Structure 1
Amino acid sequence: MTQTAITIRLGKAEDTEALIGLDTTIPYDKQRPGQIRKWIEANTCYVMQTKGSIIAYGVLHYHFFGNAFIEMLMVAQKYRRMHLGSQLISCLKQNCTQPKLFTSTNQSNIPMQNLLAQSGFKASGAIENLDPNDPEIIYFCDLKGEK
């Protein structure tokens, strides 16, 4: 993409089908469409768009032991490796109302681990047994110094 205006805003009900269309987990996770609807209804889903097309979304909530948590970050496959994930994380950090921000990714998801490291997150533990033989790594970012 070359110098195209990108906007990030809260998701709306009419965005649901576009988000379902870009989410690459849909073939494996039949509950995801319902999750997307709930995230939009709860005003926790941020949508990234350009030229009227939705190209990514992120979910920021405050149910992780009373702290902020990025539950989902999804960039449409054809828009990956264009630094959109880092832009979306920056937006979520700016909109975060808590000083501690957490997220997680599978140990096998090296691209996401690299993105989190570049975005100021540090590994903060792991949870076993969510996915077989692929621990979930928890990441933390201290926003006190960033705002």
Structure 2
Amino acid sequence: MLSNQSQYAIRGVVFLAVNASEERKYGSKEIGDQIKVPVPFLAKIFQNLSKEGLITSSKGPKGGFYLKKNQLKGNLMSIIECIDGPDNFNSCLIGLPQCSDSNPCTIHHLAAPLRNEMLHSLRNKTIADFAKDTKIGKSHIF
């Protein structure tokens, strides 16, 4: 469902939420090494997220990436939509070109409630919520 880019973006953003601050910024190499993703790929993803205002970037010797308080209140769905576009979750899980509630594939009625629940969480839980789960060991990013 998620592209590699979105997977790396989520892991990187949650890493920032857990570890970074305005006083302690992280470069893409440091993050990529920590979360075990290709650094050039992550750098490009972070440039895009920064350009869209979803993360913050600063240049210079003490530069790097971090999240401002308002960005911590954002959601992971905005990250996914920035990377993969808004229609990422509308495709049929078994690849049929036409699949909907009125024209369901064989697993549509099984998959649709799970997809809707996941979308609800991705839209309504904040990045800070996901970071908290990671900090307390309820989840992990690498």
- With normalisation by structure 2, the TM-score equals 0.27
Normalized per residue, which structure has more strand? 1
Question: Quick check: which has more Rg, 1 or 2?
Answer: 2
Larger relative contact order, structure 1 or 2 (CA cutoff 8 Å, min sep 6):
2
By percentage of residues, which structure has more helix? Answer: 2
